[in-house]
Structure 1
Amino acid sequence: MSERPLYYLVSTAGIPNLGDELIAATWVKYLAEHAPDADVVVDCVDPDAVVAPLRSMHPRLRLVSTLWQLCFRNWAAGLDAADAVRAAVADPGLAPDLRDGIATLCRADVVHLTGGGFLNSMWPAFTGLLSGIAAATERSGGRAAMTGVGLYPPAAGGEDRIRALAAGFAVTDVRDTASARLLADPAALSCDDVFLYPRSWRDEESADLPEVMVSVQFTLRPTALFPPGAGLSQPADGPAAAARERAAHRGMNGLLSLVSKAVADWGAREVGVLECWPEADRDVLEMTRRALPRTRLFTLDDVLRRGFPARPGQAWFSTRFHPHLLASAAGASGVAVSLRDDYYGTKHRSLTDHGSPWALTRCDVLGPEAPAVPPRPVAGGYEPARLDAHQAAKRRVAERIYGFGPAEGLRPGGDPGPAS
């Protein structure tokens, strides 16, 4: 391990996507607050695509993509990518171009897999992140930690592997009840990593924000999920791809019809439309803005520069998870719409089961019947005491990982001011 503390974060930043960027920023902010003199490495999907202001948040931060590249190179192996990644970390000669990156990983004091919903049946090769961290900390004697992860739906036959890998971590923390059940560890449950600073990301100049906000996504995940050049094979053209595309557009039209009816019923004069994932959201945002009356677009760059556009009194319609979390934390009312119950439903329920008063509805846009239009929500967002409790729980997890005590200068509620 290094003379200067070295903290190594493994993060989904660099897709880029709002929730993933904010989770990375949350932990970099925490380390800047507690360990400004430490070396901090963020191992992310694509360093060139990171849009969160990570470099300005910590003076000794470096971005790499080592474990992610090992997973991408073993994509076709699925769950067995875990074995290949472990082998490469144990013997860097198997990936000579990543030798320096593996050496850095293997001298870290802490290797910390930050949260998100990427360890599941949709992306089984990412079990390699767990096995790579385990192999690195076995070599270094460092501490392995995972926080705020969602493990549902698990890959078929992968439950035992995930449990075995997680058992070797010094700190294991998940954000939803289903994931804690999978690990057979109720004590592992806390909440999403963004609750470490639940108030910091809000737009402080919120008086002129629209009264109704919409955050929707394409109803099927994009073909090119990760950046070009990551080594992933793309689905071939042909009847199956064409059928998938038709189903996606039919689903999107059904979802936009529901949004249009809801916005009309709610009497909105202006609608804010939120961009979370620029590459994946381009088509759906264009379709949404055509389908709705007067709209105002909030880009991912806007949100990361100015803050999240939520305030009390708003009504939100959101299929996405982190807009639900952040808007409810700001006091806004909302309807959370689950497009896939085992994945999105699990994520949204992790919020509603733990204090978000938002309505939760399942939207089968490909079903035989049109979904019912939800009434305008009026219940507001999280009670301040609930936010404080979630933040305290996440702070306790952070202290178990890094050993820092409470920082000085926190304002009431335990949250410093907005991120710069």
Structure 2
Amino acid sequence: MFYLVGTTGFPNYGDELIAAMWLRHLAETAPEAEVWLDCPSPGPAQVLLGGIHPKSRFTDTFWRLCWEAPGDEPWEVARWVRQAMHNPSMACRWAAGIELAAQAQVVHIIGGGYINCIWPKHYGLLAAAVGAVQRSGGRAVMTGQGLWPAAEHATTLVRELAAHFDLVDVRDEPSAHLVEDVSALSHTGDDMFFGIGSHLYRRPGEPLREVMLCLQSDLLEMPRPALASFVAETLRAWDVTPDRLGVVEGIPGVDRSVFDLIEPELPGARFYPFAGVWGHGLPAGPGQVWISTRFHMHMLAAAAGADGVAVAVNADYYSTKHRSLIERGSGWTLAKDLRAVERPGGGGFGGPVLQSLREAKAAVAAKIYS
């Protein structure tokens, strides 16, 4: 039995893509295996992802343990969760789920940036994985992890827990430095490098807008009007008319509110809601220019050959994420201070670069599920 752990079901476009990618991989390589995905919102995750692997099922045991742990401090959470994995009576409402996880051959914490100082209770996920495989005799692995920025006093905790993992794969340089002493470390980038393909995009020949926006309103270190003003000024400087503009939503509602502020000045701009992007593909391709705060829009648009500006709305968290793609060859410009930027022309990821990134991630997948 394979036990995946991810932050799916919210929904968040990038998180759903990563989970779908791993479920698709297991559907191809292990269609008869029992696969569980432990996530915060198993109901919505079932609706979005339930048909990908024929034997996939969804639960939220590890997340419930993290939320129920006394206190918010990472060491406290990790200690309590690990104890509960060995003594389910401490968390009797989730005892059945604990016993299920303790049968896993592989506990796989799939990629994303959800175990760090922004969500300190999530360090309990590492502790739950370690507790599960200590009971089952299986293997704990993590892939594509963005562990930076680390919570205060949590560096030693992360290293001690990571030492129990058979494979530790991270997506950015600060995360690699955080766990640099772990012998099983690899640094292959975000998990979605393994899953990029034509199935993620709109059908060939479908008209695309020349300039695209993806603007979040969560985790901002600046007021929403400041971000809206930056985008409006940039569009004016680039002489972009509304009929050439598209706006993409990565999290439903959350990625609409900044655009709402400038929409009255942009009649004719096309809005692509999350449901449409999920169901029909991302409207990205060569010749476009994007302005995106979202990491996975940056990744997938650049993979499609689009130029772009990545806006870091959170200095430590989002700068690290976007920089990890730029350093791997996305060709995008990083805007860190909401000052005017020139229209970029980097051309996105090159084909050989993408192939190399995919091969590195495929090698990680083979180590886990060969």
TM-score scaled by structure 2?
0.94
CA contact (8 A) 1:36 1:60 kept: yes
Deviations 1:29-49 (A, max 9, x none): 110111111111000111123
Q: Relative to structure 1, is the Cα distance of residues 396 and 349 closer, same or farther in structure 2, using a 3 angstrom cutoff?
A: same
Report 1:169-188 matches (<5 A): 169-185=165-181, 187-188=185-186
Report 1:152-231 matches (<5 A): 152-185=148-181, 187-199=185-197, 200-205=199-204, 207-218=206-217, 220=219
Instruction: Give the match for residue 67 of structure 1.
Output: 62
Which protein has greater RCO, CA pairs closer than 8 Å, 6+ apart? Answer: 1
Return the alpha-carbon distance in structure 1 between the equivalents of residues 123 and 219 of structure 2: 23
- The answer on 1:397 being equivalent to 2:369 is no
Return the alpha-carbon distance in structure 2 between the equivalents of residues 76 and 205 of structure 1: 51
| TM-superposed deviation, 1:204 | 2.5
Report 1:298-309 matches (<5 A): 298-309=272-283
CA contact (8 A) 2:227 2:258 kept: no
CA contact (8 A) 2:70 2:80 kept: no
Q: Relative to structure 1, is the Cα distance of residues 86 and 47 closer, same or farther in structure 2, using a 3 angstrom cutoff?
A: same
Of 9, 12, 20 in structure 1, the residue corresponding to residue 7 of structure 2 is 12
Deviations 1:257-302 (A, max 9, x none): 1101111222323211111111433423422423534211111111
Q: Relative to structure 1, is the Cα distance of residues 291 and 153 closer, same or farther in structure 2, using a 3 angstrom cutoff?
A: farther
- The answer on 1:381 being equivalent to 2:348 is yes
Give unmatched runs, 5+ long, in structure 2: none
CA contact (8 A) 2:219 2:314 kept: no
Amino acid at match of 2:268: R
User: Could you say what secondary structure the match of 2:71 adopts?
Assistant: helix
The worse-fitting range, judged by mean Cα deviation, of 339-348 and 203-212 is 203-212
Instruction: Give the match for residue 264 of structure 2.
Output: 290
CA contact (8 A) 2:81 2:127 kept: yes
- The answer on 1:348 being equivalent to 2:348 is no
Amino acid at match of 2:235: V
Amino acid at match of 1:137: V
User: Could you say what secondary structure the match of 2:212 adopts?
Assistant: strand
Instruction: Give the match for residue 334 of structure 2.
Output: 360
Instruction: Give the match for residue 27 of structure 2.
Output: 32
* Two-structure CA RMSD over aligned residues (Å): 1.7
Return the alpha-carbon distance in structure 2 between the equivalents of residues 78 and 280 of structure 1: 28
Deviations 1:369-405 (A, max 9, x none): xx322111222110000100110010011111111xx
The worse-fitting range, judged by mean Cα deviation, of 187-196 and 150-159 is 187-196
Return the alpha-carbon distance in structure 2 between the equivalents of residues 341 and 282 of structure 1: 22
- The answer on 1:259 being equivalent to 2:231 is yes
Amino acid at match of 2:177: R
Amino acid at match of 1:316: W
CA contact (8 A) 1:21 1:52 kept: no
Q: Relative to structure 1, is the Cα distance of residues 96 and 155 closer, same or farther in structure 2, using a 3 angstrom cutoff?
A: same
Q: Relative to structure 1, is the Cα distance of residues 344 and 297 closer, same or farther in structure 2, using a 3 angstrom cutoff?
A: same
Deviations 1:313-337 (A, max 9, x none): 0000011101000000000010111
Return the alpha-carbon distance in structure 2 between the equivalents of residues 300 and 387 of structure 1: 25
CA contact (8 A) 1:203 1:310 kept: yes
CA contact (8 A) 2:219 2:313 kept: no
Deviations 1:234-263 (A, max 9, x none): xxxxxxxxxxxxx86xx2111111101111
Amino acid at match of 2:192: V
Amino acid at match of 1:312: P
Return the alpha-carbon distance in structure 2 between the equivalents of residues 332 and 77 of structure 1: 41
Counting aligned pairs with the same residue, the percent is 42
Q: Relative to structure 1, is the Cα distance of residues 97 and 51 closer, same or farther in structure 2, using a 3 angstrom cutoff?
A: closer
Of 110, 120, 124 in structure 2, the residue corresponding to residue 124 of structure 1 is 120
Return the alpha-carbon distance in structure 2 between the equivalents of residues 308 and 359 of structure 1: 21
Instruction: Give the match for residue 141 of structure 2.
Output: 145
Return the alpha-carbon distance in structure 2 between the equivalents of residues 151 and 41 of structure 1: 23
Return the alpha-carbon distance in structure 2 between the equivalents of residues 268 and 339 of structure 1: 23
Instruction: Give the match for residue 237 of structure 1.
Output: none
TM-score scaled by structure 1?
0.83
User: Could you say what secondary structure the match of 1:190 adopts?
Assistant: coil
Return the alpha-carbon distance in structure 2 between the equivalents of residues 279 and 108 of structure 1: 36
- The answer on 1:335 being equivalent to 2:309 is yes
Deviations 1:209-247 (A, max 9, x none): 1111001111646xxxxxxxxxxxxxxxxxxxxxxxxx8
Give unmatched runs, 5+ long, in structure 1: 1-5, 222-246, 364-370, 404-420
The worse-fitting range, judged by mean Cα deviation, of 394-403 and 179-188 is 179-188
Return the alpha-carbon distance in structure 1 between the equivalents of residues 208 and 247 of structure 2: 11
CA contact (8 A) 2:216 2:256 kept: no
Instruction: Give the match for residue 45 of structure 2.
Output: 50
Instruction: Give the match for residue 103 of structure 1.
Output: 99
Return the alpha-carbon distance in structure 2 between the equivalents of residues 298 and 212 of structure 1: 13
Amino acid at match of 1:213: M
CA contact (8 A) 2:225 2:258 kept: no
Q: Relative to structure 1, is the Cα distance of residues 401 and 291 closer, same or farther in structure 2, using a 3 angstrom cutoff?
A: farther
